Amino acid sequence: MCTKHCFDDCQGFDPPHQSDTRTVYVANRFPQNGHYIPQRFADNRIISSKYTVWNFVPKNMFEQFRRIANFYFLIIFLVQLMIDTPTSPITSGLPLFFVITVTAIKQGYEDWLRHKADNEVNGAPVFVVRSGSLVQTRSKNIRVGDIVRVAKDETFPVDLVLLSSDRADGTCHITTASLDGETNLKTHFSVPETSVCQSVSQLEALQAVVECQQPEADLYRFVGRITVIQHGEEIVRPLGPENLLLRGARLKNTKEIFGVAVYTGMESKMALNYKCKSQKRSAVEKSMNTFLIIYLVILLFEAILSTILKYAWQAEEKWNEPFYNQKTEQERNSSPILKFISDFLAFLVLYNFIIPISLYVTVEMQKFLGSFFIGWDLDLYHEESDQKAQVNTSDLNEELGQVEYVFTDKTGTLTENEMHFRECSIKGTKYREVNGKLLPEGMTDDSPDGSVAHLIGDEVLFLKAVSLCHTVQISYDQPDLPLGASDPFSHVNGFSSNHMEYYASSPDEKALVEATKRIGVAFTGSRGETMEINTFGKLEKYKLLHLLEFDANRRRMSVILQTPSGGTVLFTKGAESAILPFATSGEIEKTRLHVDEFALKGLRTLVVACRHFSPEEYMDVDKRLTAARTALQQREEKLQEAFDFIERDLQLLGATAVEDKLQDKVQETIEALRLAGIKVWVLTGDKHETAVSVSLSCGHFHRTMNILELLQQRSDNECAEQLRRLARRIKEDHVIQHGLVVDGASLSLALREHEKLFMEVCKNCSAVLCCRMAPLQKAKVVRLLKTSPEKPITLAIGDGANDVSMIQEAHVGIGIMGKEGRQAVRNSDYAIARFKFLAKLLLVHGHFYYIRIATLVQYFFYKNVCFITPQFLYQFFCLFSQQTLYDSVYLTLYNICFTSLPILVYSLFEQLVHPHVLQSKPCLYRDIRKNSLLSFRTFLYWTVLGFCHAFIFFFGSYILMGEDTTLMGNGQMFGNWTFGTLVFTVMVITVTLKIALETHFWTWMHHFVTWGSIAFYFIFSLFYGGIIWPFLHTQDMYFVFVQLLSSGSAWFAIIIIVIICLSPDVFKKVLYRHLQPTSTQKSQSLSAPPAQALSCMESLCCYQQGQSGCSRLASLLDQMTGHCKAGASNCHTSSRCNRSWSDTETFYSNDRSILTLSPIEGTRC
């Protein structure tokens, strides 16, 4: 959704609204002169629904008929209505109506739920200031300019500019967990002129105008200014993100606030982030469309051939107008061309069922229902965080089984994003923390020199800088104290600082502030412009003059403070590349060396520096910052210039090193992906030494791997030459594995002119690590691989907002429910709690989804070829008179009732190999790569098989009845409807048993739908043919089925034809399994050993300890089948039994999910 779209939805905007800014009059106190034209803004209704009562039918029909198959069947239905066709319009209309209705009900129900949620939000009670009093109204009635009151723990109903709060300084604390997932408390501010207006009467008297930018989706950007009129004088104050309270955020630790609504309804930032993701299509869906086109060509060929043969046959006079079928005068005089077209369309209608209309609705149901298995899988549930796997789109389930490249973020994805302070460098000396003390390198805790008293001068200044340069908030254990007692400094009067907890948007900041507190310099709170620290028991108050926020371009943040002695100092911290070039004093080279050493250990580094300002320098700084912050145009650019001017001539204080622990089982997961033939690329913003160290520790790079580097390239020529050198080295050392490290700057050069060369080097490397990457660069790398000639399937996985671009760019995007917010999860296709779950998601779920839907698609085309080819063959025996072989009811119900459920159940529950085996043998994933089960060869096999079976159905029945139709004992003859019913009966049984032959994993549900479908066909046919239906024009099928089943010859023919059709399939499977077994087939024997039947029984009574009740019988059968040696008394504790119960094997976990049912659920039991 974009801003322009929102504006278009709001009708009647006046020209002033089309400008770059909007003017909001607080409390809607408009100017009294007659020249003012009020701007019109959107109301505060949130609309997430797609349809209304009035547009549901036309809009939904339009969307559904954009599908080729639906549109095609609509045309066929209209043709049947307009011309005389051999089949009733019901045969096309009813299946089409069924598919359209099922889809419409599903989409209508989903939209009704959205309407219901919208009504709850829009009808929520809110309080606004109107006509001098506080009035309760509904959320949807809030207008831009209204003053809204929000109480503690309530969510903000609109985007508000904060006017005042119950605190004297006009600040409030909020949490934006529902917007970006950050649980830390954030402080927002009001301007001094409005913060004093804490009563309704004061607010009613307030004269103020807010000018701000038009709505945009960026949650962290807001540019505006407020003009307050006091005593006839206009006071202008800048407004930024710290003054804006976003809809959806929640008020915390503040009794109440008042704010003016600036963005309402679908123009609020939260609504603008209801982003329509680009539609991703799976490889299976693309194959399906290709197959549909091929079958459309077959259909057209059959229709044209039949039409030509009809006229060739009618060239003979006796067939053109036989004595029993004389033409009318109108038919003799009709245009030959129109007659040819009419006949062609009639044949098209006759054969149209070769296009499987119900394929779409079955695939949709399979994807929708199948997606629940991921959420239900307890192996993908993370107990510590109480988070289960989440499916945001079910359209890509099978794509999980086709992944060739995985692009992963490092921090929070491979690591825990839990920071622990480890070391620091101060004035060229390395220190480490031991038991709450900061000790120089080489000194122990027992050493007398390790006492706190020795931390003086530079060390203390460094600790003060770390404890003051941040945006950390503090929450106390007693949030509901009386107003006076909620003072953050109340611990001075006896409230221990041990009861406070730090909240930070960055885990690094929290770790550093907690570390300085342990060492003795504790940040104890901030109130308004005052920050307080406790330095070894001594309280110090600093006045916060300016905060220079962190941004991805500068890669640093700063604070300007007034010290207790009255001086002005700047503290800054950031990446070493963002600080060291601007440092002019301090131990620069030693610190650089220490930073590199920390990075080699895999630690995350930050460099800390300071700058002291004279009064004159600070006046200049203050003037520049104020001018930049109040600018309405190009504010970001002006702020960047001001920041660059301020953050220079720095005095280097030191560097910090924090450890980000690797997540559990990351190394095993990466190794499993590698064995599955999936290449893993790590894309991170960290410096290359840190990234390489983490890559080595997590197994992404091996110690024996030859590490190639493409770093710090400064020109195109230099980059090209280095790439050529790397390509030569790879060719020379082709025996060993190679890993490539590339940084962001070099990558930009490589992608500009030398894409092919860069791709050649990357594809020959087993692992690639890209460091110092900007978010858009991550997306570019994914796009580069995605659009390469091989068109590999890509997967991107990350946990932060900086990973969103690559998650959206990849074929499959996976969000990690980490500590960097929920933006990655919201924009992903799937979400998991830990990186280790990726192995099961791909190797098990991906494998199952792919084989299921691949078979579903092929089988649908197969059964429709079986269905319609006898119709085509029948025309050769009826002079192409367009006589239908099957009754209209059978034509209609074939795909809807008789053959629909077995394939649907197969596509939901089939397991070629046991899940344990798939996880323990990742190489099985290679068998299904490159869409191998939907290759043209496989498609051709299923199509030819369909034609062969159709020929056997037709000619098998013809051999039985062709010469002599008196198959009844009383000499009664069979007619054409009996012949057609015989073909149809054989066909329903054969195609149902065919999917039964394809099924490896049998459950009671498979038995129910397989045998139930055949039984239902027989019962329905007996019922349908046993009654004279008054509403039918003809009673062609009356007693036909009963008569057919009364013939022993017909029963014999049915059995023989079914056996002839399916026996080659059985022989082929047996021969291939024994002569050329695939690795998947070999693995099936692992999950189904000879004594499998007893294993199932064993699992009923065999526990982890003790003798099982059936173990003797099991041992005896195992000896008979050769599975165990005679006399083995511990057969019941064999490896296969261990495999069923073990929790400790590599890649295994306790198999408790519906998907990973134990073998007892199988029919092998």
In angstroms, the Cα distances linking 158 to 223, 264, 822 are 17, 5, 21
Rounded to 5 degrees, φ, ψ at 350 are -65, -35
Task: Round the CA-based radius of gyration of the chain to a whole number and report it.
Answer: 37
Contact 994, 1062 (CB under 8 A): yes
For Cα atoms 648, 219, 771, give the angle at the middle one, nearest 5 degrees: 55
- State the amino acid at position 536 in one-letter form: F
With vertex at residue 561, the alpha carbon angle to CA 560 and CA 566, rounded to the nearest 5 degrees, is: 135
Using alpha carbons, select from 885, 895, 886, 899 the residue that is nearest to residue 1016.
899
H/E element, 561: strand 556-562
Do 549 and 557 touch, CB atoms closer than 8 A? Answer: yes
Q: How far is CA 234 from CA 194, 209, 223, 391, 830, in A?
A: 13, 10, 19, 54, 53
Residue among 342, 354, 351, 357 nearest 79 (CA): 342
| Of 854, 798, 855, 788, the residue nearest 829 (C-alpha) | 798
Task: Say how many CA atoms lie within 13 Å of 1051 toward its Cβ.
Answer: 8
Q: Are 1074 and 1015 in contact (CB under 8 A)?
A: no
Contact 486, 523 (CB under 8 A): no
Mark whether 409 is an active-site residue: yes
Strand order in the sheet with 256-263: 133-138, 125-130, 147-151, 256-263, 159-165, 244-245
Distances (CA, A) of 86 to 248, 257, 342, 880, 886: 61, 75, 12, 11, 11
Count of CA atoms in the C-beta half-sphere (13 A) of 822: 12
Q: Which residues pair with 233 in a beta bridge?
A: 230
Residues paired with 830 in a beta bridge: 391, 814
Which tokens is 798 given?
Answer: 């990350």
Among 694, 707, 685, which residue's Cα sits nearest to residue 771?
685
The 3-state DSSP class for residue 599 equals helix
- Packed helices 1048-1075 and 976-998: angle between N→C axes, nearest 10 degrees: 30
Ramachandran angles phi, psi of 41, nearest 5°: -120, 165
Candidates 1154, 1107, 516, 411; CA nearest to 771 is 411
The set of residues, in sequence order, having a beta carbon less than 8 Å from that of 1160 and lying 6+ positions away, is 1096, 1099, 1100
Catalytic-role residue among 146, 159, 180, 409: 409
Q: Which residues are catalytic?
A: 409
